[in-house]
């Protein structure tokens, strides 16, 4: 039997941009647009052997400092991937017919 209890956990309530000083609360949408980097540099790193590297940047500073090198991809619209795949379907090459979507009668059903 598992007996559960609740205990307080620390959480991030605010973020302050290390570049411009912008402050965002966890209840604001700006808070969720921050980028945080936190990693340990490796042996022989130009940042120092095994130093801890940390930075928090607001979205504005991220764009201003790294904008030219950011790879920004728009989210896929649901269903577009399958539609593009279906455009490549060739009955002669792949054999047979592709079944009609549900609710749409096939040519055989119409006659």
Residue 7 lies in a domain: no
- Look at residue 8 and tell me if it is in a domain: no
User: Which pLDDT does position 62 carry in this prediction?
Assistant: 98
Q: What pLDDT score was predicted for residue 64? A: 97
Q: What is the DSSP string of 6-32?
A: --------EEE-TTT--EEETTSGGGG
* Statement: the pTM of the whole predicted model exceeds 0.85: no
Confirm whether 50 is domain-assigned: yes
In the prediction, which pLDDT does 11 show? 92
Please check whether residue 69 lies inside any domain of the structure: yes
Whether residue 21 lies inside any domain: the answer is: yes
When the pLDDT of each residue in the chain is averaged and rounded to a whole number, the result is 87
Task: Flag whether 28 is in a domain.
Answer: yes
List, for the chain, all residue ranges whose pLDDT scores fall below the cut of 70.
Answer: 94-111
| 46 domain residue, yes or no | yes
Q: How many domains does the chain have?
A: 1
pLDDT value, residue 45: 96
What is the model's pLDDT at position 2?
84
Radius of gyration of the chain (CA): 26
Counting other chains too, the contacts that 83-91 makes at CB distance below 8 Å and 24 or more residues apart are none
């Amino acid at each position: 039997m598992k007996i559960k209890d609740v205990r307080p956990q620390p959480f991030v309530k605010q973020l302050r941009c290390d570049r411009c000083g912008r402050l965002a609360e966890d209840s604001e949408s700006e808070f969720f647009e921050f980028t945080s980097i936190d990693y340990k540099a490796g042996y022989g790193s130009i940042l120092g052997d095994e130093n801890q590297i940390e930075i928090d940047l607001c979205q504005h500073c991220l764009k201003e400092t790294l904008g030219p090198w950011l790879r920004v991809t728009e989210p896929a619209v649901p269903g577009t991937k399958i539609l593009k795949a279906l455009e490549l379907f060739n009955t002669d090459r792949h054999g047979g017919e592709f079944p009609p979507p549900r609710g749409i009668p096939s040519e055989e059903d119409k006659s």
